Structure 1
Amino acid sequence: MSKLGNIGARLHRGEVSYDFIGHRKIWFGVSLALVVVSLVGLFARGLALGIEFKGGVEYQANVRVTDNSVADFTDAVKATNAQDLGDPVVTTIGTDKVRIQTRPLDQDDIAKVRTAIATEAGVQPNQVSTSQIGASWGDQIAHKAVLALIVFLVLVFLVIWIYFREPKASAAAIIALVHDVLITVGVYALIGFDVTPATVIGVLTILGYSLYDTVVVFDKVRENTRGITGSNRFTYSDAANLAVNQTVVRSINTTVIALLPVGSILVVGTAVLGTGPLKDLSLALFIGIAVGAYSSVFIAPALLATFKEREPGMQALRRRVLAKRGGAVTNASGMPVPAAAAAATAGGGGTAVAERPDRPQDRPRSGGTPVASSRPKSSAAAGRPQPTRKPRSKRGK
């Protein structure tokens, strides 16, 4: 078995664990910082909407690309003095094509700009391809994209609510999804990549990927917390943290496997092709998959545990668990540590094996072998010999 597989098996059995839920303030702080940076970039720089959203005219011409191609074609287009031209957007596609995008123009100005581009490229005007997109059509596309996102989030909320029968799970998943969207959009604003319909497709795709990973973790949380209020061994946060440890290696494996081909497409679309749908789609996928994996491990389960711990039943369970543990055994983050694990760690006896709520031997027993009482004894009682019960065969009739 590989080293990662061995670690995953030990995490699943509860032999080792990391306190993901106990460090929730750190993860929330990191996410808050990323969201703030994304919002600053979004409002300060704005999104570079592609021509499909804002409308305009796009020209493409075959030309040998040089270091001065962008500046030369920009100057050539500006020299036409077309009305409402603005600043043309000139990009190179590979090493043999240039693309120029302008604001919507009338027919005379379109022909004028087309001739200027052909002259700069050294080709005939009919060899310069032209496509026009109206501003109203671009607005319709933008509205439909926003509507699709809203409908997606509403359906996600309802489906998770029905599946888990828990509105708090739906709320945690939706907050994690919004977190993923804000960071992805913020990166687009900071980098300056064009937002095209391919970008919208990529964003919707990564939302589905993030949701899938979150549902897997939540399903394990539900399995570990089934009937938890009938026991005094584990709090809801303990069981949720165990679920994250049991699924974290799976999340890492699926994320890495998904990022490798998407990263290859991103390199090809950016370095080789220079522009186009591949670059727009792959960038959204790459950022979204990475952020979605982070949120499904560090954010969504911590949010769910935070919401559930506010319920009166879970608060009463936490008080009983802390009272049984003595109320003083905690880890560095303030989360309670099982007494057996704390004793093993303090005595240097190797890796502590944490109690697990999903193992039958760790569940409270209603009959069979008596369980030693955890109630403290008085000093007087501690010095007296305790009565013992005779075997049934030696009792008097």
Structure 2
Amino acid sequence: MTLTSDLYNSRSKIDFAPIWKRSLPISLGLVVLGVIITSVFGVNRSIEFEGGALFSVPVEQSVTVGEVRDVVGVPQARIQRIENADGSSAMRVQIPTELASEFDRVGADLNAVLIPGEQISRDTVGPTWGSQITQSAVRALVLFFIVVAIYLAIRLEPKMALGALVAVVHDLVLTVTVYSILRIEVSPATVIALLTILGYSLYDTVVVYDKVLENWIEPANRRKKYSDLMNESMNQVIMRSVNTTITTVLPVASMLIIGAFLLGGDSLRGFAIALLIGLLLGTYSSIFVAAPLLAWIKERYPDPLPEKI
């Protein structure tokens, strides 16, 4: 039998233990590094979170970001070139809310690079609205963690809830780190995508944990080390996790490549990127973070066999 056949028939004998010994410290190191990077460089928050004014200026292909920056004359301005699906170009100029006195002057000066006959669009978000959006996003994430922790503690067990939440935090931190490094704009759509991928991450982890719990109550498995039982259970469900990820990643990748890049759907880009990164991280964390972490906790703090599931 080939490895592929064994995997699909839940007969594989992959020894995950040596991999897990490396994956946990590596993942921990990446999370710490991610927190440092995000703390130092921050994230590129959209106007909905920061407040301010956002100008969209149709420009000729020859106009550069540097030229627009010279016209704007505001060092704190964020300027980005947008390439539309029809071949036209535009500059997005975001001015922070603390420079509200400059909004009108910047809007007038941008006419110098505007294509004749076109118009400059302007959106303004007040600091109070931006603060409310930020607080709502944080509350949504906190509520998500509370509800998930309670449900998993009841449906599975508290230690499994802890392992699942650690894996979710791992995915969230690394996704935000990628956004920080690549300076991808974080918008309300990104927050929605993050909540979505946290759900997928939990799904993969719960699949693994549920199989472990199912195997653990079998009399023949009661004397096994928890790490050995986890290894056996992982071999039984790994292809289910991989197949779920593949079937989910393909449409997301299509949305990113076709919708965001080829058709110029800027609103889709941040959403699709967050989904793609999160789905891949969710699969990784369920196999290489949540599984070995639970085995480590169980072997150091064992508890009696549950009477029922």
TM-score by length of 2: 0.88
Q: Are 1:90 and 2:84 matched, yes or no?
A: no
C-alpha distance 76-150 of structure 1, shift in aligned 2 (>3 A): same
Aligned to 2:108: 115
C-alpha distance 312-188 of structure 1, shift in aligned 2 (>3 A): closer
Q: Distance in 2 between matches of 1:206 and 1:59?
A: 31
C-alpha distance 36-270 of structure 1, shift in aligned 2 (>3 A): farther
> Secondary structure in 1 aligned to 2:300?
coil
Aligned to 2:124: 132
Q: Distance in 1 between matches of 2:195 and 2:293?
A: 22
TM-superposed deviation, 1:299:
1.2
Q: Distance in 1 between matches of 2:303 and 2:60?
A: 71
Return the match for 1:101 from 80, 94, 100.
94
Structure 2, gaps ≥5 residues long: 305-309
C-alpha distance 273-108 of structure 1, shift in aligned 2 (>3 A): farther
Aligned to 2:226: 236
1:282-333 per-residue CA deviation (whole Å, 9 max, x = no partner) reads 111111111110011111111111111124567xxxxxxxxxxxxxxxxxxx
* Residue identity in the other structure for 1:98: M
Return the match for 1:143 from 132, 135, 149.
135
Q: Distance in 2 between matches of 1:104 and 1:285?
A: 30
C-alpha distance 127-230 of structure 1, shift in aligned 2 (>3 A): closer
Aligned to 1:71: 66
Q: Are 1:264 and 2:260 matched, yes or no?
A: no
Aligned to 1:279: 269
C-alpha distance 173-197 of structure 1, shift in aligned 2 (>3 A): same
TM-superposed deviation, 1:281:
0.7
Are the aligned partners of 2:60 and 2:115 in contact in 1 as well (CA < 8 Å)? no
Q: Are 1:171 and 2:162 matched, yes or no?
A: yes
Q: Distance in 1 between matches of 2:242 and 2:94?
A: 41
Are the aligned partners of 2:58 and 2:115 in contact in 1 as well (CA < 8 Å)? no
* Residue identity in the other structure for 1:87: Q
Are the aligned partners of 2:52 and 2:100 in contact in 1 as well (CA < 8 Å)? no
Aligned to 1:292: 282
Q: Are 1:223 and 2:218 matched, yes or no?
A: no
* Residue identity in the other structure for 2:76: D
Are the aligned partners of 1:57 and 1:103 in contact in 2 as well (CA < 8 Å)? yes
Q: Over the residues paired in the alignment, what is the CA RMSD in angstroms?
A: 2.4
Q: Distance in 2 between matches of 1:123 and 1:147?
A: 45
Greater Rg by CA: 1
C-alpha distance 105-113 of structure 1, shift in aligned 2 (>3 A): farther
TM-superposed deviation, 1:257:
2.1
Q: Are 1:303 and 2:296 matched, yes or no?
A: no
C-alpha distance 237-43 of structure 1, shift in aligned 2 (>3 A): same
Aligned to 2:182: 191
> Secondary structure in 2 aligned to 1:198?
helix
> Secondary structure in 2 aligned to 1:309?
helix
Are the aligned partners of 1:74 and 1:90 in contact in 2 as well (CA < 8 Å)? yes
Q: Distance in 1 between matches of 2:301 and 2:29?
A: 29
Q: Distance in 1 between matches of 2:188 and 2:76?
A: 22
Are the aligned partners of 1:225 and 1:240 in contact in 2 as well (CA < 8 Å)? no
TM-superposed deviation, 1:144:
1.0
Q: Are 1:246 and 2:236 matched, yes or no?
A: yes
* Residue identity in the other structure for 1:305: A
Structure 1, gaps ≥5 residues long: 79-84, 315-397
> Secondary structure in 2 aligned to 1:19?
coil
1:233-284 per-residue CA deviation (whole Å, 9 max, x = no partner) reads x222222111111111111112122222222333346644667321111111
TM-superposed deviation, 1:213:
0.9
Q: Are 1:61 and 2:52 matched, yes or no?
A: no
Aligned to 1:44: 40
> Secondary structure in 1 aligned to 2:200?
helix
Return the match for 1:201 from 189, 192, 195.
192
C-alpha distance 241-191 of structure 1, shift in aligned 2 (>3 A): same
* Residue identity in the other structure for 1:25: K
Are the aligned partners of 1:93 and 1:275 in contact in 2 as well (CA < 8 Å)? no
* Residue identity in the other structure for 2:158: P
Q: Distance in 2 between matches of 1:134 and 1:276?
A: 23
Q: Distance in 2 between matches of 1:255 and 1:189?
A: 24
TM-score by length of 1: 0.70
* Residue identity in the other structure for 2:82: I
Aligned to 2:13: 17
Q: Distance in 2 between matches of 1:214 and 1:107?
A: 47
Q: Distance in 2 between matches of 1:43 and 1:105?
A: 22
Are the aligned partners of 1:21 and 1:241 in contact in 2 as well (CA < 8 Å)? yes
TM-superposed deviation, 1:100:
1.1
Aligned to 2:26: 30
Aligned to 2:203: 212
